[in-house]
Amino acid sequence: MEYRTLGRTGLRVSVIGLGTMVHAGHFGPMKDEESLSAIEAALEAGVNFIDTSDAYGAGYSETLLGKALKGKRDKAILATKGGNIMVGPNRGKTDFSADYIGRVMEESLKRLQTDYIDLYQLHNPSVDVIRNGDVWELLERRKKEGKVRHYGVSINKMEEAAAAIESGRCDSVQIEYNLLVQGPADTVFPLAKEANVGIIARAPLRRSLLAGKLTLADQQRFQGEDVRARNFAGDVFAKELKKVEALRFLEKPGRSLAQAALAFCVADPAVGVVIPGARDAKQLRENAAAGETHLSEEELAKIAQLWRSGFK
């Protein structure tokens, strides 16, 4: 496993990390034994960066992580998030006020069974919150108290990433980056490099599409809490599947498409860590092994050409 420094945090993170949204049932039903086996396999494989949120299963993913890391807290660099209201009358809204974040951070610490969070991230804040929020003073106080070691944002739009970097407040930016969403490499990564802000590449498998195992027939099983019900609604899914076919040339003996997809993210030196979700120990081991895989210059050039041409 290769390790990199995550921007100015100075944290030495494995290039392949673990995302735990799947463990809360956001990719269809899960068994706790499978989730726990994935986390255990991560630590065994040298994967040390684990990302969660108080929004995943309204804290369920954090609770599982707390259990899995009991007695092993020092083996993991723990990143969590807050700001999305998951229970009560305001469910579905966001709150990035200092009062709210201060309260939910304490709840995250309890669920994670730890007295410090390595990286606390605001979960999809707006540009206005990034520029004018009162939450930043709170985060700085919590840092001084030792409850969080570093803080940053997880964002949806490039302009939010740019605002976060320009604000000078964020140690890290988490953003979707993968073979099918390459925009951040041109717009966000140069800014992050210049400011020494760590980049965390999320959804590196484009929510399982880039594992190359889905067909059109899968669309009808994406229901309810499965994030793919929303992400792949209508004809989006068929269009994305077509693009995946154009990327099949990356599969070869000893290297799966999922591994090539992760190697693509890691190939950009601006990326500190990619955080694929892993349902179980098997997926985790396959993903971790991508930390040893490299794409050739020719492969990277063909990928760039496909991206520029809209996968024609």
Ligand X SMILES: NC(=O)c1ccc[n+]([C@@H]2O[C@H](COP(=O)([O-])OP(=O)(O)OC[C@H]3O[C@@H](n4cnc5c(N)ncnc54)[C@H](OP(=O)(O)O)[C@@H]3O)[C@@H](O)[C@H]2O)c1
Query: How far is residue 150's CA from residue 159's CA, in Å, rounded to a whole number?
Result: 22
Show the tokens assigned to 11: 């944290």
**Which residue among 37, 51, 164, 173 contacts ligand X (CB under 6 A)?**
51
Decide: is 258 part of the binding site for ligand X (CB under 6 A).
Answer: yes
- Residue whose CB is nearest to ligand X in the complex, by number: 19
Select 123 or 147, whichever has its Cβ closest to ligand X.
Answer: 123
- The tokens for 55 are 């929004």
> Cα–Cα–Cα angle for 271, 248, 270, nearest 5°?
10
x/- mask, ligand X, residues 107-146, rule CB under 6 A, reads ----------------xx----------------------
Kindly report the number of other CB atoms within 10 A of residue 279's CB atom: 18
For the segment 170-209, give every residue that binds ligand X (CB under 6 A).
174, 202-208
In 3D space, the residue among 93, 95, 111, 92 whose CA is nearest the CA of residue 225 turns out to be 92
Within residues 275-294, the interface with ligand X by CB under 6 A covers: 275-279, 283, 286-287
Q: Give min distance, CB of 23 to ligand X, in A.
A: 8
- Taking the complex as a whole, the smallest distance from the CB of residue 276 to ligand X amounts, in Å, to 4
Measured from the CB atom, the residue of 141 and 294 that comes closer to ligand X is 294
By CB under 6 A, tell whether 62 contacts ligand X: no
Rounded to a whole number of angstroms, the minimum distance from the CB of residue 201 to ligand X is 8
Q: Is 56 a catalytic residue?
A: yes
Handedness of CA 34, 40, 45, 47 (dihedral sign): positive
Binding mask 216-255 for ligand X (x = CB under 6 A): ----------------------------------------
Q: Is 59 in the site for ligand X (CB under 6 A)?
A: no
Nearest residue to 270 (alpha-carbon basis) of 218, 197, 219: 197
Instruction: Please give the C-alpha separations between residue 8 and each of 87, 195, 239, 255, in angstroms, as whole numbers.
Output: 34, 8, 38, 33
Integer Cα distance of 262 and 276 in angstroms? 8
Residue of 204, 208, 177, 154 whose CA lies nearest to 270:
177
- By annotation, the residues acting in catalysis are 56
Binding site for ligand X (CB under 6 A): 19-22, 27, 51, 81, 123-124, 154, 174, 202-208, 211, 213, 258, 275-279, 283, 286-287
